[in-house]
Chain A
Amino acid sequence: MITITGLKKNFGHKQVLKGIDLTFKDGEIVSIIGGSGTGKSTLIKCVMRLIKPAEGKILIDGKDITFVEDEYKLSAVRRSMGYLFQEGALFDSLNVGENVAFGLQYLTDEKPADYKKIVKEKLALVGLKDIEHMRPSELSGGMKKRVALARVLAVSPKYLLYDEPTSGLDPIMSDIISDLILELKNKLGQTSVVITHDIKSAYKISDRIVFLYDGKILMQGTPAEFKKSDNPYVRQFMDGSSRGPIQMKLTND
């Protein structure tokens, strides 16, 4: 279980997270939604401790990692977590096969002789075949993302943090990825935290949806509750309307 209490984070003078209280229970899928710049990525990066929070507390299975400085201890906690980056973050210097196998040597006890088999298996899981020898630069955006997902899945983490897993994918592939996230939960009991703009996917996969607005949680609940909600902020976002209380400042972006 991941427990977050009173989490705050600022970059310079800009307060991005303004006190988040949130729990991710084992085996559930939580989607975090909200406009750009509301601190969704910052939130899960704090959980992964890629970013150091300013205030608050993050407990991963009871272990407080909020202000741990020792990289050695941090890497031990990170073992239980997988992180899918928005743009994939594949290593350019390695080919696809080496990318997918990368975490195995550090995070698992698998024998190097089995790496090939695991790579094949995980690539097949995300619908890719025979591309082990290709370079990341030769792949399309969607393929990169799926290879990155295969890389995360290869190390079978207990918690999976996805930073926009379906953005940049065609609708069919988006749905396949959504199904995959669901399947991982059902088969392996994996806990997933999904940052997404894809409302359809959020409705489909989530046990719970968390709506972030201006660095705070505005609403959380089941997809059914979100569908029924008459909160004007939530409605505007879920319906994808330019009219409503959320005013995007076009000039600033």
Chain B
Amino acid sequence: MFKLIGKYLITFFNECGKAFTMLHTAAFWLWRAPFEWHEAMRQSVKIGIDSLTVTTLTSVFTGMVLALQGGNTITSVFNEPMYVGTLVGFSLIRELGPVLTAVVVVGRAGAAVTAEIGTMEVTEQIDALYTLGTNPSRQLVLPRMFAFLLTVPLLTLFANFSGIFGGYLVAVYGLGVPPESYLSDITTFMGAGDFMHGFIKSIFFAFMVGTVACYKGLDTRGGAEGVGRSTTVSVVTSMVLILVLDYFLTAILTALRI
């Protein structure tokens, strides 16, 4: 039993170490060579567009279901659907917006990045980068990290708005909440701090998703099967880490009163 736990812990820290080495090398190249802006923008567009539709769909329906569940529960207690806007707004902006967006990005873009870099690794394209005067840090990791850091917060923002819009539809047309009170519920009780709370989370998620996706890609061994394995591991690891990280970030940010 101890042996098994020990083995997992060793693997875990070993992987963390290697991922940080990758980040360290990437940071080194950030200062030593010109940044690949063209590739970074190309990746940003790709990741952003890849994930936009699914993010919107997910958050609209999340907003709708929050309004429906919340509205019904509140109605059963208070006899009228009060504070539906506040409930939807708080849940989305502080919690579900960043988390759901990160999960969607992992599924769409994170998996694609791991699979792409993994395929490059097993077909010697990574080695080819070295022989042609550049390296994967500069060519692949940095542009993709940039792209995740740029697009995930933007997508989160977009998810927040579409979620609130979804909630609005259900609250106003389904539950009969007056439109003004739905919106004032949000604006009265929520401040810039709540927005920052979600925004900071999304940046951490972006960083983590990018790191895992690139690292698992570069760590791929063993042909097509290896690419499949890396991609699965990358997605599962990111999903679990999002939820774990979310708890700790909430705890820390709340303690810091953000």
Contacts and interface: CB of A to CB of B under 8 A. Distances in A.
Interface stretch (B120-128, B195-203, B211-219, B241-249): B120-128
B36 to A, nearest CB: 10
B160 interface: no
B128 A89 contact: yes
A49 to B, nearest CB: 8
Contacts of A79: 133
Contacts of B134: 75, 106
A91 B133 contact: no
B147 to A, nearest CB: 14
Interface size class of chain B, counting residues whose CB lies under 8 Å from the partner chain: 10 to 19
B25 interface: yes
Interface size class of chain A, counting residues whose CB lies under 8 Å from the partner chain: 20 to 34
B131 A81 contact: yes
A78 B125 contact: no
B125 A103 contact: no
A7 interface: no
B47 to A, nearest CB: 14
A78 B130 contact: yes
A204 to B, nearest CB: 26
A85 B128 contact: yes
A79 B132 CA distance: 8
B181 interface: no
B119 A82 contact: no
A83 interface: yes
A195 B197 CA distance: 58
Interface in A1-19: none
Given A71-B25, A72-B32, A103 B127 contact: no
Given A71-B25, A72-B32, A92-B119, A107 B127 contact: no
A131 B125 CA distance: 20
Nearest to B128: A89
A121 interface: no
5 contacts: A71-B28, A74-B130, A86-B124, A89-B124, A91-B128
Interface of A: 45, 48, 50, 71-72, 74-75, 78-79, 81-83, 85-87, 89-93, 102-103, 106-107, 151-152, 155
Interface of B: 25, 28-29, 32, 116, 119-120, 123-125, 127-128, 130-135, 137
Given A50-B127, A92-B119, 15 more contacts: A48-B130, A50-B131, A71-B25, A71-B28, A71-B29, A72-B32, A75-B135, A78-B130, A81-B131, A83-B131, A85-B128, A89-B128, A90-B125, A90-B128, A155-B132
